[in-house]
Amino acid sequence: MSATAPTAHDDHGHGHLKLVYQPSLPINNGKLFLWLFLSTEIMFFAGLIGTYIVLRFGVPSGSWPAPHDVHLVEAIGALNTGVLLFSSVTIVMALEAAKNNQTGMAKGWFLATFLLGSVFLGVKAYEYNSKFQHGIYPARPRSLLHEKADIYYLQAARLRLEGLQKHYADAIAAKKLPIPGGGAAAVTIAAGAETAAAEGAPATPEAAPPTITPYLNIDDVTEGKDDPNVQHYIVATNLLNHLVKFAEQVAATDPDPLARRAAMELVATAVYPLHHGPGGHEHFVNALKSEATRLANEKDSLAQQDQALQADKQEKLKQIEEQEKAETKDEAALTQWKEEVAKVDADLAASGLRADAIDGRIQVHGDLAAAQHGLNEAHHWLRLPMKIPSGNMWASTYFLMTGFHAIHVLVGLIAFAVVLPKRLDSTRANLIENIGLYWHFVDLVWIFLFPLLYLF
Amino acid sequence: MADHAHSHDDLEHDEHHAPPGSGKYWAVFIALVVLTIISFAVGNSSALRENAPQVMWAAMMAVSSAKAMLVILFFMHLKWEANWKYVLTVPASIMSVFLLLMLIPDIGLRTRHYADDRWLYAAEPAPAHAAEEHGGEHQHSPKEDGEKKHAS
């Protein structure tokens, strides 16, 4: 210190200043470097945190995900804050001990700091893993987050379910078990409907393929009932046919835009309900009930319509029969009657399809109502796309900020590991002080990140 | 001259009043833990979150700033450092605040300038204040839009 300190100035009586040259700041070069580095770090993290605040409060009000929506546990964050604060104390204790040449004590405190930093990173890894388990990643293609429930959301859900269906069908075939429901009958209804919806025009009835796989029941399975592949195949197939494709049909053909939106939102809520409160699930179940009532009414009117169509058909068949018997055949009239019968048959087939769709839909309601925390929670292997508004922005900012912080922690741990084998006496006090300054800064950043990410 | 004398004093100060013993560090640690508990309690108060979220955010930021000051002053020894500390910390802090002020109008308040069309394709419906600003026009447009599509 004395080398850089100015010598006492003497201006007694002479009336002018005698300036003393001071070659540098009164601190050692290492510490000066570290403080310059930290001042750039302040700006670096201020940029990240500032951007986060601006993005967080810039989203439409109420759409930023709540901590529980994205599997953030505040208590774990608070625990990690405590760990880091404690490690800040242990590093100053190490510095104090080193200054007093208590090398054993210094080493002990230093080791404690290293271990606490490792605990912090371990907890962080656990937290990241719990996000990954639920399909929350910073970016596509792994991320399952969708901003809203639109036709692209339904498309993503359908592609996922079709993939699962194929995967489990292959697995079942490999075990030489019969595929429930015949397997091959699983045709896509929505292939035509989807393109129509993308163009914004309702699909024509002809676009619908001829069959709908009925709801598969596990109790009807004769072989391999306990095989998880069979069980998963049944769940995926039912959801594909009676949840997602049904919604795609509505989204493509319903003239009411509110009904289209409601059908798509229902899929999103079934997969991943955003508000986990007890009232939220009740609300969902009530929505299912009202849909069931509506569908039952529709089925009744379909049955009446079918009766009328059947009577009409009998009438027309009789006409044809008479025409065939007549001696002078009116070929033109005969063709016309036949065409009309074909038309009635087409109508009957369409209403039969619709009735099958309604049956399957009402049966799948039971599965949806049973999955109280959403299908993704009920069946972890499903990993269907989830609707979390602003979820992608959340994931980007969360992983970026905690990731940069974790890298800083890692650098600190490396520095600890390098210094730890050395003798920590007063000659190394400056080194320990500099590492400590860096470590305190890492703590400082977390002090702001914790409330901003976990509690805001 | 005054400056010179001042820095001289600081150095004297530095030498004679070196950072205190370990007792003070533990006191600071306890204060930090208590402050963490306070911000945890504030952040988990549903009453505050529902009625006055701004107060909640401001309280948590104030607590964080207090914690940051404790760490900087005691653990990083800035309380006992000479005046050079201002040279290194004040410009960086000014730049940080400047950055925030640059970001807020363009990005932070971006939804205030959304066109009606933009709201139609937003993930969430327009908040009430946006409806007032636009005379509520966009609230009718989705339906009209949908009907037009159906008619075509």
Q: What is each CA distance from A453 to A41, A156, A232, B48, in whole angstroms?
A: 19, 29, 36, 17
What is the number of other CB atoms lying within 10 angstroms of the CB of residue A167?
A: 15
Identify the CA nearest to A120 among candidates A152, A88, A145. A88
Average pLDDT over residues A268-275: 87
Average pLDDT over residues A172-180: 87
Cα separation of A133 and B21, whole Å? Answer: 47
Cα separation of A189 and A158, whole Å? Answer: 11
Helix or strand or coil: residue A11? coil
State the nearest Cα–Cα gap between A135 and chain B, in angstroms.
20
Q: Which residues contact B82 (CB under 8 A, 6 or more apart)?
A: A25, A26, A27, B7, B10, B11, B14
Residue B152 has pLDDT above 80, yes or no: no
Cα angle A198, A199, A200 (rounded to 5 degrees) comes to 90
Cα separation of A189 and A153, whole Å? Answer: 17
Which tokens belong to A183?
Answer: 């397997």
Contacts of B124 in chain A (CB under 8 A): 60, 62-63, 148, 389
Cα separation of A114 and A126, whole Å? Answer: 19
Identify the CA nearest to B65 among candidates A437, A56, A84, A448. A448
Provide the pLDDT for residue A369: 87
Cα separation of A24 and A17, whole Å? Answer: 20
Predicted confidence band at A87 (pLDDT cuts at 50, 70, 90)? very high
Contact A223, A178 (CB under 8 A): yes
Contacts of A18 in chain B (CB under 8 A): none
Provide the pLDDT for residue A27: 83
Cα angle B76, B81, B84 (rounded to 5 degrees) comes to 110
- DSSP secondary structure letter of residue A421: T
Average pLDDT over residues A318-328: 80
State the nearest Cα–Cα gap between B85 and chain A, in angstroms.
9
Cα separation of A131 and A124, whole Å? Answer: 11
Q: Which residues contact A238 (CB under 8 A, 6 or more apart)?
A: A215, A216, A360, A363, A364, A367
Confidence (pTM): 0.78
Cα separation of A354 and A352, whole Å? Answer: 5
Average pLDDT over residues B73-94: 87
Provide the pLDDT for residue A34: 93
Q: What is each CA distance from A207 to A150, A162, A203, A342, B151, in whole angstroms?
A: 21, 20, 6, 17, 19
Interface size between A and B, measured as CB pairs under 8 A: 174
Beta strands per DSSP E along A328-411: 386-387
Residues forming a β-bridge with A387? A146
Helix or strand or coil: residue A28? coil
Contacts of A40 in chain B (CB under 8 A): 92
Phi, psi of A387 (to 5 degrees): -95, 110
Residue A115 has pLDDT above 60, yes or no: yes
Identify the CA nearest to B71 among candidates A447, A206, A208, A244. A447
User: For the segment A349-375, what is each residue's pLDDT rounded down to a tens digit?
Assistant: 888 888 888 988 988 898 888 888 889
Burial of residue A449 (CB within 10 Å: 0-12, 13-18, 19+) is: buried
> Who among A27, A60, A455 is closest to B111 (CB)?
A60
Provide the pLDDT for residue A209: 52
Beta strands per DSSP E along A103-182: 145-146
Contacts of B75 in chain A (CB under 8 A): 88-89, 92, 436, 440, 443
Provide the pLDDT for residue B119: 74
What percent of chain A lies above the pLDDT cut of 90?
43
What's the farthest any 2 CA atoms get from each other in chain A? 147
Identify the CA nearest to A237 among candidates A267, A268, A213, A219. A213
> Cβ–Cβ of B39/A57 closer than 8 Å?
no
Identify the CA nearest to A240 among candidates A170, A309, A166, A337. A166
Provide the pLDDT for residue B60: 92
- B19 — alpha (psi -120 to 50), left (phi > 0) or beta? beta
Cα angle B45, A444, A99 (rounded to 5 degrees) comes to 135
Provide the pLDDT for residue B151: 39
Residue A86 has pLDDT above 70, yes or no: yes
Cα separation of A445 and A48, whole Å? Answer: 11
State the nearest Cα–Cα gap between A83 and chain B, in angstroms.
10
Residue A84 has pLDDT above 90, yes or no: yes
State the nearest Cα–Cα gap between B122 and chain A, in angstroms.
8
Predicted confidence band at B120 (pLDDT cuts at 50, 70, 90)? confident
User: For the segment B17-49, what is each residue's pLDDT rounded down to a tens digit?
Assistant: 555 677 899 999 999 999 999 999 998 888 888
What percent of chain B lies above the pLDDT cut of 70?
63
- Among A41-55, A116-130, A151-165, B99-113, the least confident range: B99-113
Chain centroid, CA B146 distance in Å: 42
Which residue did the predictor score with more confidence, A445 or A175? A445
Residue A186 has pLDDT above 50, yes or no: no
Which tokens belong to A351?
Answer: 């209403």
Residue A289 has pLDDT above 70, yes or no: yes
What percent of chain A lies above the pLDDT cut of 70?
89
Provide the pLDDT for residue B20: 60
> Who among B71, B89, B122 is closest to A447 (CB)?
B71
Residue A440 has pLDDT above 90, yes or no: yes
- DSSP secondary structure letter of residue A141: T
Residues forming a β-bridge with A146? A387
Which residue did the predictor score with more confidence, B103 or A390? A390
- Among A3-12, A70-79, A277-286, A416-425, the least confident range: A3-12
> Cβ–Cβ of A88/B71 closer than 8 Å?
yes
Predicted confidence band at B13 (pLDDT cuts at 50, 70, 90)? very low
Cα separation of A196 and A298, whole Å? Answer: 24
Contact A263, A247 (CB under 8 A): yes
User: For the segment A194-217, what is each residue's pLDDT rounded down to a tens digit?
Assistant: 444 444 444 454 554 557 788 888
> Who among B11, B22, B147 is closest to A5 (CB)?
B11
Provide the pLDDT for residue B148: 39
- Cα dihedral angle (B107, B112, B113, B116), rounded to 10 degrees? 130
**Mean pLDDT estimate for chain A:** 85
Give the total residue count for chain A.
Answer: 456
Which tokens belong to B39?
Answer: 């911000």
Identify the CA nearest to B25 among candidates A94, A442, A34. A94
Identify the CA nearest to A410 among candidates A439, A453, A450. A439
Cα separation of A283 and A276, whole Å? Answer: 11
> Cβ–Cβ of A55/B107 closer than 8 Å?
yes
Residue B59 has pLDDT above 70, yes or no: yes
H or E stretch covering A370: helix A331-370
Predicted confidence band at A12 (pLDDT cuts at 50, 70, 90)? low
> Cβ–Cβ of A61/B40 closer than 8 Å?
no
Provide the pLDDT for residue B10: 42
